Amino acid sequence: MRAISSFNWEENTMKWHSIRMAACATAALLTISTTGAWAQEGKEFFNGKTVNYIVATGPGGGYDTNGRLVAQFMQKYLPGSTFVVQNMPGAGHLIGANYIYASEPDGLTFGTFNTGLIYGQLGGDPGIKFDLADMSWIGKVSSDPRVIVVSKDSGIESYEQLKALKEPIRFASAGVGSASTIETTMLVNALHLPIQIVSGYNGSDDQLALRRGEVQGIIASRSSFQQFVDEGNGRFIAQIGGSQTDVPQLSSLVDDQDAQKVIALVASQSNISRLTAGPAGIPEDRLKALRDAYAAATTDPEFLEKAKSLSLPVDPKVGEEVAETVKTALDQKPEVVEFLKETLLSRN
């Protein structure tokens, strides 16, 4: 009986040992397999998927052109994906940005909006349902200085001439809450310019309005109006930010220290133009794949050639570098934030 009992015990022990070894081997194989799959999932996830690229303005204009170019080339570097561009205009890019932030953070919805939302967040705009510091930052295409543009028919040839006007002239801007409207309002107030702001011009409507004589000027990104000026429809009389020397820097034309602070704030925004971001919480592997695709897209020779043909400046940055730039822009001194809040209130 003892011999039989001993034999069964040894046999069972051996069986359990074999089962345990097999289980460990299977677990090891599964770990290797899962790790390999995880390493590949970021890019492979987009194969066969539809990606929604939101442009928070109407068709036409700089944001739409940049957004469509970025989407086209990101699709190229995410094989098997299909990018669909959706224009979502309204409230100075606020509607589109709120939509992006509220989207499922699966990496399939992201897009572009203007830097006016940085002003809105600083000023406590109640319509903002996002925190820019928390968004999943993919990249930015360019740095784009602001310019004061006047139409050919305005008869104005210099900033000094604009400043000396006895009667106000009309300047176009985009929707309330946009960078265009906020920057124009801040500068008009700080510099005491004889300008009446007419908002609501989106896409390329502002250039049409300048040609028709509805408005006589605008404060906008240089790239959006370079062709307009090159074709003889208007002129640049001052620039904010950028390294070009053919137009005088507005800061060199102004002595008031408070006005200089506003000019410096506007200049800081010109360094983070044409942003692309998604909602907070996109998985790290997918976000990395998007950033890699963005980096490849914005340095692709064909992308650069097309951007050049469209007069779009290209100075790309990707990922955390953009995130840190946005966070820095949100870190402003109390007196600047207070002036910004007063500006926003004056538009409501």
Under 8 Å between Cβ of 274 and 142:
yes
Per-residue pLDDT tens listing for the chain (348 residues): 334 344 343 444 444 445 444 444 444 444 333 334 444 489 999 999 999 999 999 998 888 999 999 999 999 999 999 999 999 998 878 999 999 999 999 999 999 998 778 888 998 889 999 999 999 999 999 888 999 999 999 999 999 999 999 999 999 998 776 778 888 998 999 999 999 999 988 878 999 999 999 999 999 989 889 999 999 999 999 999 888 899 999 999 999 988 898 898 888 777 778 899 999 999 999 999 999 999 999 999 999 999 999 888 898 999 999 999 888 888 888 888 888 888 767 655
How far from 246 is each of 88, 233, 309, CA to CA, in Å?
36, 17, 21
Same-domain status, 290 and 242: no
Instruction: Identify the bridge partners of residue 109 per DSSP, sorted by sequence position.
Output: 52
Both tokens of 224, joined, read: 């959006």
pLDDT value of position 312: 86
123 and 105 within one domain: yes
Token readout for 281 is: 């919480």
Q: Is residue 17 part of a domain?
A: no
CATH of the domain at 227: 3.40.190.10
- Give the domain-ending residue among 220, 240, 268: 268
Residue 27 domain-assigned?
no
DSSP-assigned letter for residue 249:
B
Q: Quote the tokens at residue 320.
A: 């955390």
At 129, list the tokens. Answer: 């349902």
Structural domain that includes position 193: 146-268
Q: Is residue 1 part of a domain?
A: no
User: Which pLDDT tens digit goes with each residue over 67-102?
Assistant: 999 999 999 999 999 999 999 998 878 999 999 999
Q: What is the pTM of this model?
A: 0.69
* Domain presence at residue 20: no
**3-class DSSP state of 106:** coil
**182 domain-assigned:** yes
Instruction: Check if the beta carbon of residue 88 is closer than 8 Å to that of residue 55.
Output: yes
Indicate which CATH number applies to the domain containing 93. Answer: 3.40.190.150
Q: Is residue 132 domain-shared with residue 275, that is, in the same domain?
A: yes
Residue at 274: amino acid letter: R
- pLDDT digits 0-9 by tens, 22-66: 444 444 444 333 334 444 489 999 999 999 999 999 998 888 999
Q: Can you tell me the distance from the alpha carbon of 51 to that of 250, in angstroms, rounded to the nearest whole number?
A: 41
Residue 33's pLDDT is 39
Domain match, 285 and 336 both: yes
Task: Dump the DSSP string for 307-329.
Answer: HHHTT-----EETHHHHHHHHHH
What span, in angstroms and rounded, lies between the C-alpha atoms of 324 and 206?
A: 32
